Amino acid sequence: MFLTGFAALAVMPLLPVAARDLDGVGLYPLVAGAFVAASLLGGVLGGAWADRVGARLPLMVGVVLTVATLLISATSGSIWQLASGRFTDGIAAGLVAVSVNAAIGQSYPDHIRAKALALMSTCWIVPSLIGPPLAGLVAAWSSWRTVFFGLAVLTVIPAAAAVLLLRGRPMRADAVSAGPPPRPPLLVAGAVSVAAALTQFGVSEWDVAHLLCTGAGLAALVVLAPRLLPPGTWRAARGLPATALLRALTSGAYFTLEAFVPLMLTTARRVPEVVVGLAFTGAALAWAGASWLQGRLQERVPRHLMVRVGAGVMAVAVVLAGLCTLPSVPAAAAVASMVLAAVGMGWAAPSLTLLSLAHSPADRQGAASSAMQTSQNLGQTVVLAVASGLFSAVGAVADGRLPAFAGAFVLLLLPAVAAGALAARTRVVVGAAPGPDFVRGSRRGWSRSSPRP
């Protein structure tokens, strides 16, 4: 996880440079959005795979595929090859993320899972501190291709460890479904990934063609995405459906804030780039610290209350970011809003993951992890698209960019407040049999199981 985080954080600052060198700046939104879009497909594939044979095989494939995708990107001769590399890397990332969560659920008892997830968050601290600046130095000394090749060499280490240490390991008896192996809706997942990429491309500019792309992508997501989620997700049915919805709401609010605050600091408030970099570093440290704290408090604070507190902290962060659109408010407050939002996510995200595992039996924890990964990516895509559309619309009629940022931040209050209000629906009932009201079925994706006793 440490080297995976290092690769992810080091690559992002180099994508604009690579797009410029490949004469593909106009397609940069597609390159940037391909990763998130493809991770939808990787998450669905990894979840079903983990339920069928255990988490070790999809984890092995995911880390090996990561090495291959870095090599594809490093040898890019066109912007389309770079986009293909990022899309494939998204599939690999989806496999790894879902497999890690499923492995924690299948291998650790409940009282250790929170600490394991906190450790996963801690693994991102050092990469957040040294990954981007080190990659920038290497790119300045040589080229962005050298960074991709170097990351491929580094990622060989966890790939080799996964293959050598996990190969042939016996699986837990309760880690594999006793029934017929589920068949994930891969065609639907692929279509949703394409729709997400189309939406990301559409919000890059404000004209008729891009507006049509955005509308088509969002329409496809509305029609097809529910097939990848537990029934009742959109109405926040108690249990796993509400947990999946809250992952979408909190992720959409946080990552959209993370996208708009640096843009505001750079373009409207004219803050030096080093300050923006410190904001990302502070956010990473805050997320890891809050995640560690929720792991320590899990025996004393119910997890659904941690989600409510985390959502409330994120709402305060959004308000703080909105106040920074006033010229009289110091720009440093916007940096603090990113750090504060990361504290909220550090509380909410691991708690939601643990709740999803608690709502799932052992042979469906891969499907639950897949649903959470899918909802996270959908939340990022939809909230960012809507906020970007509002930003472009307000910016087209307003004087200056600050009113456009204000409109986007007001919009972000909705998912944050909704997550806090619905947190009680994720509560695990004491004494109830472990297992959700919904399991993954055959071609139709999710189907309703018999009621819990």
pLDDT in tens, 187-218: 888 888 888 878 877 766 667 777 888 888 88
Judge residue 275's burial from the number of C-beta atoms within 10 Å of its C-beta, 0-12 exposed, 13-18 middle, 19 or more buried. Answer: middle
- Output the CA–CA distances (angstroms, integers) from residue 334 to 113, 283, 417, in the order listed: 33, 12, 19
Just give the CATH number of 1-168. Answer: 1.20.1250.20
**What's residue 273's pLDDT?**
63
- What is the Rg, in whole angstroms, of the alpha carbon atoms belonging to the chain? 21
What string of DSSP letters covers 342-405?
Answer: HHHHHHHHHHHHHHHHHTS-GGGHHHHHHHHHHHHHHHHHHHHHHHHHHHHHHHHHSSSSHHHH
Q: What is the pLDDT of residue 337?
A: 93
pLDDT score, position 449 = 35
* Domain residue spans of the chain: 1-168, 233-427
The residue type of 355 is L
pLDDT digits (tens, 9 = 90+) for 299-322: 788 889 999 999 999 999 999 999
275 sits in which H/E element: helix 273-296
Structure tokens at 217: 């992508």
pLDDT number for residue 13: 66
Are 85 and 73 within 8 A, CB to CB? Answer: yes
Secondary structure (3-state) at 447: strand
Contact by Cβ (8 Å): 369, 356: yes
- Domains 1-168 and 233-427 equal at CATH topology level: yes
Residue 83's contacts (CB-CB under 8 Å, 6 or more residues apart) are 27, 30, 31, 34
* Amino acid in position 114: A
User: What's the whole-model pTM score?
Assistant: 0.73
Amino acid 175: pLDDT: 45
Q: In a 3-state reduction of DSSP, which class is residue 440?
A: strand
What the block records as the tokens of 381 is 């895509």
Written as one string, the DSSP assignment of 204-234 is: TS-SHHHHHHHHHHHHHHHHHGGGGS-TTTT
CA angle 393, 222, 348 (to 5 degrees): 85
Residue 294's pLDDT is what? 81
Residue 55 identity:
A
Span between the terminal Cα atoms of the chain, in Å: 38
CB half-sphere exposure, 62, CA atoms < 13 A: 29
- Residue 193 has what pLDDT? 81
The pLDDT value given to residue 136: 73
H-only helix segments in 54-123? 56-74, 79-107, 110-122
Residues of the chain falling short of pLDDT 70 = 13, 16, 25-30, 32-33, 166-184, 203-206, 273-274, 277, 362-363, 365-366, 399-400, 429-453
393-402 tens-digit pLDDT: 787 777 667 8
Superfamily the domain 233-427 falls into: MFS general substrate transporter like domains (1.20.1250.20)
Alpha carbons 248 and 72: distance in angstroms, whole number = 30
